[in-house]
Amino acid sequence: MKWISDKKATYILVAILSLVIVFHMLILLGLVPFEIVWGGRLKNASEMVIFELISIAINIAMLTVVCIHGGIIKTNVKHGLLKGFLWIMFFLFLLNTIGNIASNNIYEKMIFTPLTLLLAVLSLRLAVSKK
């Protein structure tokens, strides 16, 4: 997978994951309707808060993994552990892509399907890197 450098994949992932975190915060604040996420299956605001907080936590964890792998955050995490997390991210984004395709919401299908597919490909790029 030499079509994109490790460094470029890292920075694109950092940018997208950061924007995704902001997006979920906007949902929590009520500035973006929660009906456009989670396949349009959330029933009320209290359910939305739980799911959005979980989503934000997962995205922060993934952002941290990418930043450690890319050397943006310096730490002594073992290389193999980071690779394992990157593979998990790849599979989660792949599953999310399938979920977005099956969504009841047109925004999720049209906007988030290609986005999660891109995140899956970039995560795979880092997972298979020699770094």
**Whole domain around residue 43: which residue ranges?**
6-127
Residue 30 falls in which region: left (phi positive, over 0), alpha (psi -120 to 50) or beta: left
Please state, in angstroms and rounded to a whole number, the distance separating the CA atoms of residues 90 and 100. 15
pLDDT in tens, 41-100: 788 999 999 999 999 999 999 999 999 999 999 999 998 999 999 999 999 999 999 988
The structural domain count of the chain equals 1
- pTM, two decimal places: 0.90
Q: What is the pLDDT of residues 108-121, one digit of tens each?
A: 889 999 999 999 99
| 1 in any annotated domain | no
- Which pLDDT value is given to residue 1? 54
Residue 81 lies in a domain: yes
Q: Considering only CA atoms, which of 130, 24, 107, 119 is closest in space to residue 66?
A: 119
